[in-house]
Structure 1
């Protein structure tokens, strides 16, 4: 019998970057201790905590983890690998690769960022981590990750297209709650700010 699992997806603290940030290891601004305390208090005490191995996610997880059991950071929970686009502004990406950049966001799926990855590749690596942890016996999992990572799981749980999922706003330090009952997914909350 499969144990039901509730996932509490948390987007890391803000980096204040004004350009595309994928695998670049920028730190998060965790100076809003009141927001971090509200977030930690909103999350279940019995949850296991996991994060991406990028510092903005792992440091956020450490800041809200409290006494909760901490699982090792996981590289497959990293943000989109934007490859050559990482660090560029949206207009720079559009000027450099006008057709590809438009297709990447408007018809996400197999379009690959130069030197990076596609939506489908991101979704597959994140879903592999989720499926493994769903079988591990945890009832609640707090996963501190990134915008794209969280959207792949909203699409999966909500049975929606990648394009529709990309329409959701995911704020820094927000909570998206998804539930796996052992057979099917349900979406409990998206972008909740405690």
Structure 2
């Protein structure tokens, strides 16, 4: 059995679409970071998205855990031309697409960006590789809200739309297990 401990990166305080733009996380709440680090398995392997907000969060909680190189495949959704725009501006620019993108996740893409299915395929490949290389171990994956939701979808058997309904706060932990019977979803959005 391999346990995956998904940690959403620290807050960015962005009020707009933030996909592949490389904005830093606010990691100034040292007490909370210490609580998160204490909650995670002490002998876990730690890996993160290569975006600075996730990578630095992983560094902050790693402690004596083995820290693997960052993985580009764990990046947030590429929102294309929407990245950096606020939600009202996106709705004005693409009124139908901006609604359908969230309500009918699947193959719809943000302009010059990625679809739900594209991101899930990309993330699944990284997760499958990690599970094959580190079978039976605890793996902490520091990533992004969209990435975590694709894995909730994978583990829960829900629809993509239902998976997107989960609250995933910054510095929260979502636990997923891969065992002999397949995937299972544990705690979602645990706040340490």
TM category, shorter: over 0.9
| Pair 1:75 & 2:81 matched | no
Work out whether 1:120 is the aligned partner of 2:127: no
**How far apart are 1:169 and its partner, in Å?**
0.6
How much does 1:181 deviate? 0.5
Deviation of residue 109 (structure 1)? 0.3
Query: After alignment, is 86-95 or 182-191 more displaced?
Result: 182-191
Report SS of the residue matched to 2:186: strand
TM normalised by structure 1 equals: 0.97
Cα deviation digits, residues 62-110 of structure 1 (max 9, x gap): 0000000011100010000000000011111000001111110000000
Q: Does 1:15 align with 2:23?
A: no
Aligned partner (choices 146, 149, 152) of residue 147 of structure 2? 149
Distance 1:176 1:87 in 2: 27
Aligned pairs for 1:34-183 within 5 A: 34-138=31-135, 139-183=137-181
Task: Count residues in correspondence.
Answer: 191
- Which runs of at least 4 in structure 1 moved beyond 4 Å after TM superposition? none
Q: CA deviation at 1:58?
A: 0.2
User: What is the CA–CA distance in structure 1 between the aligned matches of 2:126 and 2:108, rounded to whole Å?
Assistant: 22
SS in 2 for 1:177: strand
State the TM-score, normalizing by the size of structure 2. Answer: 0.98
List per-residue Cα deviations over 1:163-191 (Å, max 9, x = no partner): 00110010000000000003411111000
Q: Shift of residue 137 of structure 1?
A: 2.6
- The gaps in structure 2 that reach 5 residues or longer are none
